């Protein structure tokens, strides 16, 4: 799943190297200098305004330095680039922690609304708070760096001289093979690469919790949950409420998929009323299931086109794919991407070096240095991903006029949701308008299209919950290290109804086979985005005057929808997220009813198909 700019989710990836100078003393000097320069000498509202202005200027400088170092590290993975990126990240994190502690001088003061909000956002700006102890601070950033680097370098070598990378080798096997033996081999081979991270992860949890507690949070998970303009406890309940809204649709989809897989592989492989083996769902993590659509497609539901085939027959190149995405946004009234985007982005996997291929959108200078990092494959899936990632880039540019601490999405789920909202407009009618299709299929084919979309969107929802449900419990101590893997699979069974294809024990560390766990990136944003994107899409379709069923609406080339979208994007994080949500949708609460509306024809069809089938696991 794509992630937003590194400034949103700072990561550092260096090994344990001995520097040529005393890093700890240097960091202490920088921190002491920052304290001298920025520590408030008095406690008046004017002092608070000056403090936050100076803090923003310093953080902007450090953020740009960190982004540049992270870009180089992600595109040239070596011990040196990892080391340099780690220390750039450490400088940014430590400066932020220092400033957060200084801001306590103003905690009980009546401040102007914008200053009070900036101080609040400053306190919540980190995904990782380093402890005050310099040695522990350096150790924590190095651990996070080494786990991320290990993920980026990981390969499964089934035999001497033959190694398979996640992208594209293992991903293609999982997507295309229908041989259970090959699927199991690829699944186990990749998951086994994560086992060496377990020891580092235990120490990472200890140090991350220590840093969070020094800032006044119960643990690192509580710090993450505090970012949503509500208490950590209220946010946990909110995610549960949203899940219950969509759970009936997920259960219907799971029942249908299990039945069809049982018909393909037999009851010895896929039980009639148990969880689905995770390696059979077309994705390394069973987080989306659309790759197995050919096994599940309704009779006579073929829409009559294959976007991957169309793109390849037209000799579409990686840059062409990105140009299609840019054209979508310019049709809404947005300015084209800057020239530097095309000069500095990574579009193709290099043959001569290791890179992190995980697709991501970057705003390197928090102004106009927008970039895409993606090893583009000419597929319909990557066509959607590019539209998604450019959603991040256009969001980043829309709020770049805001003060530094407001240069974020309303909450992190908004950033992901905007990209996915644009991807929902990649409809057959849209493909006709841009010349990739001659004619859109008629409405009789919609069940197939909706099923394919549900295999991507609805299948993902419980996985989006599990990643952070597991980490919240790890950070709180509810899950001890000796039960890391056991509880991971218990949660995946509880929410997803999937099970490992082979026995897994505590010598394994399957959570870290997912990028976001290894790289310290909170994941709840993706769950929230899956909810919000349909809420956004419904509102924008209404603004565009679409009278077709929601799944057939595209906002391409509609300036009114573009105006309404830009109005929300330009707010950044200057207001609480309910204000931004209301600006676009007229609602102040996240609402999953738009998902049920979008998939209503499919949900009715699934009920017919599932008659006589056991539901649940």
Q: Does the active-site annotation cover 392?
A: yes
Residue 239 corresponds to which tokens in the numbers above?
A: 């995610």
Strands 360-363 and 276-277: unpaired
Q: Judge whether 293 and 451 are in contact, CB under 8 Å.
A: yes
Cα separation, 14 vs 147, in Å, equals 9
- Residue showing tokens 């970039």: 371
DSSP H or E stretch at residue 525: helix 524-543
Which of 184, 566, 561 has its CA nearest to residue 400? 566
* Residues paired with residue 156 on neighbouring β-strands, in sequence order: 164
Euclidean distance between CA atoms 500 and 230, whole angstroms: 36
- To the query of whether residue 195 is one of the catalytic residues in this protein, the response is no
Cis preceding linkage at 168, omega within 30 = yes
What whole-number distance in Å separates Cα of residue 599 and Cα of residue 534? 10
Q: Which is catalytic among the residues 87, 254, 387, 392?
A: 392
Answer yes or no: 516 catalytic.
yes
Candidates 250, 495, 515, 526; catalytic one: 526
How far apart are the C-alpha atoms of 21 and 3, rounded to whole Å? 34
Considering the candidates 416, 423, 484, 512, report the single residue annotated as catalytic.
Answer: 416
411 Cβ contact partners less than 8 Å away, ≥ 6 residues apart: 227, 228, 229, 525, 528, 573, 577
Nearest-10 crossing angle of helices 412-424, 380-398: 130
Tell me if residue 26 is catalytic: no
> Which position among 358, 411, 415, 537 bears the catalytic label?
358
Q: Is 526 a catalytic residue?
A: yes
DSSP 276: E
**What's the rounded Cα separation, in Å, for the pair 85 and 75?**
12
Q: Which of 87, 388, 411, 415 is catalytic?
A: 388
CB-based contact 428:305 (threshold 8 Å) = yes
Active-site option among 254, 415, 516, 537: 516
Q: Among residues 56, 389, 408, 456, which one is catalytic? A: 389
The answer to whether residues 197 and 518 touch, using CB atoms and an 8 Å cutoff, is yes
Annotated catalytic residue, options 12, 359, 529, 583: 359
Report angle CA 566, 361, 588 to the nearest 5 degrees. 40
Could you tell me which residues come within 8 angstroms of residue 192 by beta carbon, excluding any fewer than 6 positions away? 156, 508
| Active-site amino acid positions | 358-359, 388-389, 392, 416, 516, 526
């Amino acid at each position: 799943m794509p992630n937003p700019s590194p400034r949103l989710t700072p990561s550092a990836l260096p090994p344990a190297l001995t520097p040529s100078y005393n890093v700890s003393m240097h960091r202490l000097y920088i921190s002491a200098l920052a304290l001298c320069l920025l520590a408030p000498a008095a406690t008046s509202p004017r002092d608070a305004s000056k403090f936050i202005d100076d803090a923003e200027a310093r953080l902007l400088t450090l953020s740009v330095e960190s982004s540049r170092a992270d870009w180089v590290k992600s595109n040239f993975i070596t011990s040196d680039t990892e080391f340099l990126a780690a220390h750039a990240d450490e400088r940014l994190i430590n400066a932020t922690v220092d400033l957060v502690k200084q801001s306590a001088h103003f905690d009980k003061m009546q401040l102007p609304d914008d200053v009070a909000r900036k101080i609040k956002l400053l306190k919540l700006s980190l995904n990782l708070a380093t402890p005050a102890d310099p040695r522990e601070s350096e150790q924590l950033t190095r651990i996070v760096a080494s786990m991320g680097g290990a993920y980026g370098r990981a390969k499964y070598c089934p035999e001497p001289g033959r190694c398979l990378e996640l992208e594209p080798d293992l991903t293609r096997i999982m997507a295309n093979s229908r041989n259970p033996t090959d699927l199991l081999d690829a699944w186990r081979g990749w998951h086994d690469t994560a086992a060496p991270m377990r020891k580092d992860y235990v120490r990472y949890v200890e140090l991350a919790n220590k840093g969070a507690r020094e800032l006044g949070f119960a643990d690192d998970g509580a710090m993450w949950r505090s970012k949503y303009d509500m208490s950590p406890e209220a946010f946990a309940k909110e995610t549960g409420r949203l899940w219950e809204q969509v759970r009936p649709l997920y259960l219907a989809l799971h029942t249908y998929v299990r039945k069809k897989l049982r018909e393909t592989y037999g009851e010895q492989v896929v039980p009639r009323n148990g969880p689905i083996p995770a390696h059979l769902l077309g994705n390394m993590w069973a987080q989306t299931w659309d790759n197995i659509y050919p096994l599940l497609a309704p009779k006579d539901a073929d829409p009559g086109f294959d976007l991957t085939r169309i793109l390849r027959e037209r000799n579409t190149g990686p840059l062409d794919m990105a140009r299609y995405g840019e054209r979508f946004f310019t049709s809404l009234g947005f300015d084209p991407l800057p020239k530097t985007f095309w000069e500095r982005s990574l579009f193709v996997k290099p043959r001569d070096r290791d890179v992190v291929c995980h697709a991501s959108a970057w705003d390197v200078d928090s102004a106009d240095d927008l970039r895409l990092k993606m090893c583009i494959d000419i597929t319909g899936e990557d066509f959607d991903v590019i539209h998604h990632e450019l959603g991040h880039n256009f969001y980043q540019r829309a709020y770049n006029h805001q003060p530094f601490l407001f240069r974020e999405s309303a909450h992190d789920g908004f950033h992901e949701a905007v990209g996915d909202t644009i991807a929902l407009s990649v409809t057959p009618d849209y493909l006709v308008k841009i010349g990739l299709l001659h004619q859109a299929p008629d409405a009789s084919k919609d069940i197939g299209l909706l099923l394919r979309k549900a295999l991507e969107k609805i299948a993902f929802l419980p996985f989006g919950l599990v990643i952070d449900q597991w980490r919240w419990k790890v950070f709180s101590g509810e899950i001890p290290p000796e039960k890391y893997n056991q509880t991971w699979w218990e949660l995946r069974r509880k929410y997803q109804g999937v099970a490992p294809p082979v026995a897994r024990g505590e010598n394994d560390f399957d959570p870290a086979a997912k990028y976001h766990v290894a790289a310290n990136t909170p994941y709840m944003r993706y769950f929230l985005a899956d909810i919000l994107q349909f809420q956004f899409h419904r509102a924008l379709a209404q603004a565009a005057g679409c009278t077709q069923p929601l799944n057939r609406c595209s906002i391409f080339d509609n300036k009114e929808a573009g105006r309404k979208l830009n109005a929300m994007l330009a707010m950044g994080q200057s207001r609480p997220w309910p204000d931004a949500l209301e600006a676009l949708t007229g609602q102040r609460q996240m609402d999953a009813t738009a998902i049920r509306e979008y998939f209503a024809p499919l949900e009715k069809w699934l009920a017919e198909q599932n008659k006589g089938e056991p539901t649940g696991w």
